[in-house]
Chains A and B, each alone.
Chain A
Amino acid sequence: MDLHFGDAEPTAEERAAVDALLGPPVTAWEGGDRTEADLRSAARAEQARDRLLPALHAVNDRVGWISEGALAYICRRLTIPPAEAYGVASFYSLFSMEPRPARVLHVCTDLACLAKGVRDAGEGVASPCLGLCERAPAALALEAGLPPKATVYGGSPAADATPYTVERPEPPVADAVPQAGGQGLVLLRRVGVVDPASLDDYRANGGYQALRRAFELGPAGVIREVTEAGLVGRGGAAFPTGRKWDATARQPDQPHYLVCNADESEPGTFKDRVIMEGDPYALVEAMTIAAYATGCRKGYLYIRGEYPRATAALETAIRTARARGMLGADILGHGFAFDIELRKGAGAYICGEETAIFNSIEGYRGEPRTKPPFPVEKGLFGKPTVVNNVETLVNVLPILLTGGSDTKLFCVSGSVGRPGVYELPLGTPLRELLDLARPAGRLKAVLLGGAAGSFVTDLDVPLSFEGTRAAGATLGSGVVMVLDEEVDLPAFLVRIAAFFRDESCGQCVPCRVGTVRQEEALHRLGRRRSDEDLVLLREVGQTMRDASICGLGQTAWNAVESAIDRLGAFK
């Protein structure tokens, strides 16, 4: 490609950050010294577009921001047009394209923290949900450097004078699981029980039994068991996992890819984080099984950039599994080759959408793709791809060992005494879950499914996919956010609207402009009642639902609609 570069040069530190990731440049044409051979012949530099996101992270995490010189150097190394790389870098909220201090404090101002009284970000930068809802109000300090540092803050009231400057150890993972160590847990049974860093500990607690069983069953057998167990996706869409795997496995086009969607960003959701932090090998094993069943040799684990502890746990788990032959060329001596590449997101809720995640991994803007074609046909790099959420994948382990668990994880936050991740049988009435979590104050409503979900007041609604659907709600990602009578409902709705406005990728008009108009109308309604604005909300909402490209726009009006219809908001 005949790329155009300006005069900006990278600093030594920026260059070192990129070279540490990519190795030194091989030719003059990609940023190395000019040699005589370079000036006589050159092969085309192939675009290494999929290294873009890691390269941007490398600079941003080391220097704190991405300068013109740094971006140009990345582009030279990877053969990417600077304008395109800029478009990608500026898509992610964790990257800065202008100078800023090395340490940035991201203060969660999202729903669960709002419910705990947070009004603004104070000294920090306002952040969408950090997935630390059991510790709300929460904050995350990211400090660029070698190595970069991340400090998680939770459970401190924002009014505290110096809470976000001192480094403090995080509480143990098990603190997020009120049932930890208890009976009846299947998916969470090892959280707080095993050392998350220890493969031996994992194996001593039933680890890698399921993979052995998978090898006995063969790929078709695994798919049959998963199909028969009736497992459906836990990311929100509840699509039958067995069908997805079967469709991918049957695709003649090669290679196949596995993507684990760990970009858990739905406000109020933190279950995947807890699994990854507390039982990372379970995810590695489950991915290996999924890859075996669907014929993938390569898997990407896409984790949101705001999960430092989960990222560290998985890095350790993947490295250790590889060292012990649980990943790599010949897993467990069964001739099956598979490896996992960990990809860090950089602050974009939309990248959890199953096709936006492909664009993000490939080094493009994390914009959803048009479906059809569906991922099983043309997914990552245009190849057949199976995308599963973390919770979905770890469900495969008990299916192969005991025929499956009938349980689901719920992320309980808001006005309760014992927030955290709960594991209960599907169909458990909402009331029972609340009894365990101990609501504080007089209950006003429960937000099921997160910002894209809806409010319910009927506590007898069974927590199953069918049950919630019958009640006009959704389980979504398992968010159960409890609001008491004290909640400022209009402000809460404005925050939901602001979330979608912030996180809209901007690709399609209904969502890009509709989320803005929705927020504006809610602001107005917060000041005065207006039938016109209610009509307007409904019309814009219906259009977002009908005409948006992806689930973000299609669901951006759900919660507001249910608040108006069920909670009598703005009456």
Chain B
Amino acid sequence: MSELRIPGATPVAGPTAIQVARGREDVVIGDEIVRHRLASRVIHWVVAVFFFGSLFTGMPIWSPVFGWMAYFFGGLSVCRWLHAWLGVAFAAAAAVMAVVWLKDMVFDKADRKFNVLEYLKFADREDPEVGKYNAGQKFFFWMVVVTGVVILLSGIVLWWPTYFNQALRSISILLHDICFIGFFAAIVAHIYLGTAAEPGTFHSMTRGTVTRAWAKLHHPRWYREVTGDRR
């Protein structure tokens, strides 16, 4: 929905309906549906910034192959402490995000039928019972929660190694690494599915809205719930 403009006239001041609606989720305005209210989008991108900060300060410590990344932050010594603080910031932001999205991320009956290999074939027909988030998205959410906790705890041990015993430090090295690799693979999939693979999705995380057609295709039950459209 765009503003009504009459040639030669001064545009009408004040927010449009869609601008107001963007503050609330699951609101239909014309052809657009608000999927992520402003608060959800902001917390998502705050988490993203801290995630990539942690990632790019951690990778040069992980392997010298990524040593070049350290120079963007002022060298490896800077990365050593910046990584820890960014990690804490990421964990804190992710905790807020988890709380905000928790109620939408509970697995339900429809999720049992989800088959990731079938899903990735990108067939036109989606299971009509898929709600606001499909099982893959919920799995990603819970992966972030669980991995986030493990990577935070092991990171604290690695941050102050002299306060912990050898066994705890050794196991933390492995856990931190495994979580990192898992996160890396998952974030590649997340970015790919959120941008190139499914057009319209990225817009929902920037401006907050999706089209009716998008909602009907990807999240049919959610589409029926918010529009009241029974088809």
User: Do the two chains bind?
Assistant: no
